[in-house]
């Protein structure tokens, strides 16, 4: 009698874990790529080269360096920006703000696409917020539709800030409370070489 009860309990626990894992990862099960990888530190320039970034984007000639990272509550961020909640369509509870140096040594016409640069955690990931990103870069002049990429003239570089959403519902309770201590990586390319930049906000 005990064995069926134990087996049923294990099955329930496994299903609950799978559902939670699925929700934490934004409705997808994580896929682990076993190809070559390279992990860089902050202030190291990482070249896209012939590699492909997230969402199968090629950005030849471009390279990025992560200069700083900070995490901030949405309420404090809005005060800093002089904005109100109604100025945005969606607001997360926290934001991750990354400052990047973006360089271009090629002639790729479309520039660096922010959607190609997700932030990865140990069991989560997040993408940039175009509305907040438009507010923290003066050259976008608050235009949400334009805040999706950064074009840089050949043989020059520029500084850009990218804001990432951190929705509480995408994390485990204790994890969200201690996000500042989480291991994080900025994903630069995925194939054939998984290149990422390790950073922390502490």
Angstrom distance (rounded) from CA 71 to CA 94: 7
**The model's pTM:** 0.81
- 89, 131 contact by CB (below 8 A): yes
Q: How does pLDDT run across 148-179, given as a tens digit for each residue?
A: 999 999 999 999 999 999 999 999 989 999 99
pLDDT, tens digit, 9 for 90 and up, residues 38-89: 999 999 999 999 999 998 899 999 999 999 999 999 999 999 999 999 999 9
Q: Which residue has the tokens 């190809």?
A: 35
Residue 58 has phi, psi (to 5 degrees) of -105, 135
């Amino acid at each position: 009698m005990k064995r069926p009860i134990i087996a049923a309990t294990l099955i329930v626990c496994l299903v609950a874990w799978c559902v939670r894992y699925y929700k934490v990862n934004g409705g997808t099960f994580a896929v682990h790529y076993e190809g070559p990888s390279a992990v860089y530190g902050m202030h190291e320039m990482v070249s896209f080269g012939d590699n492909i970034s997230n969402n199968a984007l090629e950005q030849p000639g471009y390279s990025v360096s992560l200069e700083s990272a900070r995490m901030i509550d949405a309420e404090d961020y809005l005060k800093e920006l002089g904005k109100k909640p109604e100025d945005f369509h969606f607001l997360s509870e926290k934001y991750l703000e990354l400052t990047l140096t973006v360089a271009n040594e090629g002639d790729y016409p479309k520039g660096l696409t922010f959607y190609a640069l997700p932030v990865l955690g140990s069991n989560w990931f997040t993408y940039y917020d175009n509305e907040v990103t438009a507010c923290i870069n003066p050259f976008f002049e608050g235009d949400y539709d334009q805040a999706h990429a950064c074009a840089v003239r050949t043989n020059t570089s520029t500084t850009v800030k990218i804001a990432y959403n951190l929705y509480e519902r995408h994390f485990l309770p204790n994890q969200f409370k201690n996000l500042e201590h989480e291991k994080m990586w900025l994903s630069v390319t995925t194939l054939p070489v998984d290149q990422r930049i390790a950073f922390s906000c502490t």
